[in-house]
Amino acid sequence: MPIATIAGREVSLNDEGFMTDPAQWTEEIATFLAGQIGIDPLTDEHWKVIRFLRSDYTEQGETATLRRVSTLAGVDTKALYTLFPGKPARKMAYVAGLPKPKGCV
């Protein structure tokens, strides 16, 4: 499992570059990871989503789906596609230092 130093901290990543330990995450790391996928700068709207994902993960133990974010965080799906273009579910999780959502079974 690769280990990288990001924003002055050691973080473990999986093969796809997702962080594997949510506890290692910091806001500086989020800014760096967002830059890696072409999201720069992170606006207030981005942070609203990222903070929701972090707190929801702490409560639920799972990464929220797009529908869950759009229903509970007050940012609709269309906006999520604008904020995190292409594959928002993956990108949001990537920046928030969480596993990509399982999308259930």
Partner 1 sequence: MKRLLVLGAGTAGTVVVNKLRPRLDPAEWHITVVDQDACHHYQAGYLFIPFGIYRRRDVERPRRDFIPAGVEMILGQIEEIDPERQRVALAGGRHLDYDYLVIATGTRPVPAQTPGYDGDAVGDSIHQFYTADGAVALYERLKSWEGGRMVVNIMEFPFKCPVAPLEFTFLADWWFREHGRRDKVELVFATPMSEVFTKPVAASHLTGVLEAKEIRVETDLYVERIDADAGALVAYDGRELPYDLLVTVPVNMGAEVVARAGLGDELNHVPVDKGTFLSTRYPNIFALGDAAALPTSKAGSVAHFSVEVFADNFPRYVEGLEMLERFDGHANCFIESGFGKGLLIDFNYDTEPLPGKYPLPGIGPFSLLQETVTNHWGKMMFRWVYWNLLLRGREIPLPAEMSMYGKER
Given candidates 36, 62, 94, 97, which one binds partner 1 under the rule CB under 8 A?
62
Whether 77 and 70 have beta carbons less than 8 Å apart is answered as yes
Whole-number minimum distance, CB 41 to partner 1, in Å? 22
Q: Confirm whether 22 is a catalytic residue.
A: no
Q: Residue 66, interface with partner 1 (CB under 8 A)?
A: yes
Distances from the Cα of 34 to the Cα of 28, 40, 71, 79, 92, angstroms = 10, 7, 23, 17, 9
Q: Which residues bind partner 1 (CB under 8 A)?
A: 62, 65-68, 71-72, 77-78, 81, 85-87, 102-105
